[in-house]
Amino acid sequence: MQKLFAADGPGDSYFVAADKRLVGNPRQTVWVQYTDPGRAFTVGLWRSEPGKWKVAYTEEEYCQMLEGSSRIEAVDGSSMTVRSGDSFVIPRVFVGTWEVVEETTKRFVIYEPDAVMRPTAG
């Protein structure tokens, strides 16, 4: 079980899409540690360099902050700052911005029922 929760290997790195970036060009890395066969449930680690970008969630996401700090702001102006040790949920349909203030690492648990693979008609 220990290996399931470790960030083994280099992970998959990428940059935020240009049309979503607001500040900087943060490199992000994800380590997917588990995905169910239907791909509706995913667990892993995520790390990001400082920057700010637009978000629009189609999934439910539980987050546990492991390192750093980030500021999450909804389109209505409400916001929260999250730091190492904090846990929270971002609901499906959340729209706003995510700003990494200090390099951030979080554990995520995502549930996205629309992502479920359906059998194709034969």
What's the CATH number where 94 sits?
Answer: 2.60.120.10
pTM for the whole structure: 0.85
Identify whether 16 is part of a domain.
Answer: no
Query: Given this model, what pLDDT does residue 13 score?
Result: 96
Identify whether 74 is part of a domain.
Answer: yes
What distances in angstroms separate CA 42 from CA 33, 79, 109, 122, one per listed residue?
8, 26, 6, 28
Identify whether 80 is part of a domain.
Answer: yes
Identify whether 12 is part of a domain.
Answer: no
Query: Given this model, what pLDDT does residue 121 score?
Result: 45
Identify whether 45 is part of a domain.
Answer: yes
6/17 Cα distance (integer angstroms): 27
Q: Which domain holds residue 49?
A: 33-115
Identify whether 53 is part of a domain.
Answer: yes
Identify whether 57 is part of a domain.
Answer: yes
Identify whether 43 is part of a domain.
Answer: yes
What distances in angstroms separate CA 72 from CA 16, 21, 41, one per listed residue?
16, 14, 23
Q: For residue 99, give the nearest of 46, 18, 22 by alpha carbon.
A: 22
Residues of the chain with pLDDT under 50: 1-2, 4, 118-122
Number of domains in the chain: 1
